[in-house]
């Protein structure tokens, strides 16, 4: 997570553990041969363009040879154009997909290519119903309100983010996937990922996993996780 130009590990979507400067964190992950780094701004309804601009400036100056995906706060065309010439391969949209801002996503596709578009769906089971957190409004919407066809059409990959298990180990709730009609090859899972959940993701032939914890406090985690995925 990138907040005010600094990195944090987030737990259960509401607690932050400081990790330091972005370049420092990226350097460590590169050292551990991380395949890709996802940098997410937890932009809520009180996010401003100046805060977005500040974080993007920090991102603009990182020097890395590891692929980067970035998202959080890209809410209009102005913000989108500000992302040109970043050392970023992929863009992550969440609220834009939930609120069906097709013009914005279409424009992003034209500028960055369809291969660059990821959709992030922060999910939580609430009252036995799957709810998706819409960051833009800072509120939950039922999964049935989600237009999965549009997401399937425009998003190259869909990140299913288990909010209730974020920061935990081996607790990702795979039953969440039953609520979605996307091809398994398009799905990336995150939130509570550990060796066992990587094994399960591998069995289900998912696209990949996003490891949200342990990365920075255990040098050998990445190697162990790759072994679990038989990479």
Partner 1 sequence: MSVDIIDIGSGNICSIKNWLERVNIQVHIINHPKEASSNFLILPGVGSAGPYMQRMKQSGFDEVVLEHVANGHRLLGICLGFQIMSDYLEEDGGVEGLGILSGKVEKLPSNVSHNSWEKFVFNRSELGEQTFQSKRKLTRKRIIDGRVFYNHEYGFISQESKRFNKSICERYSQYSSMVVKGAVIGVQFHPEKSQKTGLELISMIL
Residue 67: partners with Cβ closer than 8 Å, 6 or more residues away: 35, 36, 37, 89, 90
Residue 164 near residue 133 (C-beta atoms within 8 A): no
Which residues, 132 to 171, sit near partner 1 by CB under 8 A?
156-157
Q: Which of 8, 12, 16, 35 binds partner 1 (CB under 8 A)?
A: 35
| Sign (positive or negative) of CA dihedral 96, 97, 103, 104 | positive
Q: Which of 64, 148, 171, 202 binds partner 1 (CB under 8 A)?
A: 64
Q: Which of 3, 114, 170, 179 binds partner 1 (CB under 8 A)?
A: 114
Q: Which of 46, 50, 127, 185 binds partner 1 (CB under 8 A)?
A: 185
Q: Which stretch, 17-25, 106-114, 122-130, 170-178, contacts partner 1 (CB under 8 A)?
A: 106-114
Question: Residue 218 carries which DSSP code?
Answer: -
**CB nearer partner 1, residue 41 or residue 90:** 90
**27 in helix, strand or coil?**
helix
Distance CA 40, CA 93 (A): 10
Residue 84 binds to partner 1 (criterion: CB under 8 A): yes
Q: Which of 14, 45, 110, 139 binds partner 1 (CB under 8 A)?
A: 110
């Amino acid at each position: 997570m990138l907040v005010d130009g600094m990195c944090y590990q987030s737990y259960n979507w509401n607690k932050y553990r400081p990790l330091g400067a972005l370049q420092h964190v990226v350097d460590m992950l590169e050292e551990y041969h991380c395949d890709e780094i996802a940098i997410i701004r937890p932009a809520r309804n009180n996010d401003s363009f100046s805060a977005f601009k500040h974080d993007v400036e920090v991102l603009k100056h990182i020097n890395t040879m590891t692929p980067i995906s970035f998202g959080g706060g890209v809410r209009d065309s102005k913000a989108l154009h500000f992302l040109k010439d970043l050392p970023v391969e992929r863009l992550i949209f969440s609220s834009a997909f939930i609120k069906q801002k097709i013009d914005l996503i279409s424009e992003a596709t034209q500028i960055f290519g369809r291969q660059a578009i990821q959709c992030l769906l922060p999910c939580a089971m609430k009252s036995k119903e799957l709810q998706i957190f819409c960051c833009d409004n800072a509120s939950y919407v039922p999964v049935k309100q989600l237009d999965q066809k549009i997401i399937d059409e425009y998003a190259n990959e869909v990140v299913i983010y288990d909010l209730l298990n974020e920061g935990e180990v081996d607790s990702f709730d795979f039953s969440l996937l039953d609520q979605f009609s996307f091809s398994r090859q398009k799905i990336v899972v995150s939130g509570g990922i550990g060796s066992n959940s990587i094994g399960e993701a591998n069995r289900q032939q998912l696209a990949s996993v996003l490891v949200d914890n342990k990365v920075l406090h255990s040098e050998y985690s990445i190697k162990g996780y790759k072994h679990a995925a038989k990479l």
